[in-house]
Amino acid sequence: MGIITRTIEANGFRFAVDEAGEGDRLALCLHGFPESRFSWRFHLPLLAQMGYRAWAPDLRGYGETEPRPQDVASYRIERLLEDVAGLIDASGAKEVTLIGHDWGAAVAWAFAAHKVRPLERLVIMNVPHPAVFAKVLRSSPRQLLRSWYMFLFQIPGLPEWLNTAGDARAIRRAFRGMAIDKSRFPDEVLDRYARDAQRPGAMKAMVNWYRAAARHPGLMAGPWPRIETPTLVIWGEADAALGLETLDGTDAYVEDLTIRRLPDVSHWVQQEAPEAVNVILEDWLSAPR
């Protein structure tokens, strides 16, 4: 099924949304850093074939979504949850499955835990539950080292310059450099992400997600209610940014948890192994709960 791009007005923003399928069962796909709605291009058609209306928005500060706030506080977790709730409300859907990768997965964890809107299912890709991640950061020097960029991103101005210099060379390197199967990130894919990162004000907005997490932790600081929504975690085991130990203990926060691990796949799991991810998605979403 084909993908079309729509503008959805929600929570005071005009979200650029890629859409496939129709009906009142929504699959809402949330991307991470430094991605965009484009990262779900392999999965929207499958979700549509399964009977979902699949939406992949450019999240606040990213891509073609406007306006693009430049202050840090606009990216605190409470504001991001309001965006997801606004998109769900705008869809008019009767059932919602929330799917997230990277920062989108962090938002999805919080959305499900705090029951901002009812969810049928939750799918997480390559981001640990925030409570587990916080524990590992405190106890694992190795994970602390892997997370070096989170501290770099707190410096005013520098990460914006580093990430956009040389036609966004660092953004291009983030994808192809971390990938195991580098053929999944040809120049035309990297060009798309580099172009989005260089939109006026975009990189500051994208980095402000990290700054807000540090300066305005809010709900991310806990406590964390146990998630009752059936939850699937898909994890590329060759993630250079997040160790496998960040999966340990997830079941303490999720009542109905399924974990599927993909060896020799990087952090960019849904783009690097889209066929395997789609098989897992179809199998798990089709199974009765």
Which residues are catalytic, by number? Answer: 102, 210, 267
**Residue with token string 């993630």:** 239
Q: Which residues lie across from 6 on neighbouring strands?
A: 17
Q: Is the separation of the CB atoms in 272 and 266 below 8 Å? A: yes
Query: Read out DSSP for the chain?
Result: ---EEEEEEETTEEEEEEEE--SSEEEEEE--TT--GGGGTTTHHHHHHTT-EEEEEPPTTSTT-B----SGGGGSHHHHHHHHHHHHHHHT-SEEEEEEETHHHHHHHHHHHTTSS--SEEEEES---HHHHHHHHHH-HHHHHHTHHHHHTTSSSHHHHHHHHHHHHHHHHHHHHH-SSGGGS-HHHHHHHHHHHTSTTHHHHHHHHHHHHHH--GGGGS--PPB-S-EEEEEETT-SSS-GGGGTTGGGTBSSEEEEEETT--S-HHHHSHHHHHHHHHHHHHS--
Q: ω into residue 130 within 30 of 0, thus cis? A: no
Q: How many CA atoms lie within 13 A of 176 on its CB side?
A: 17
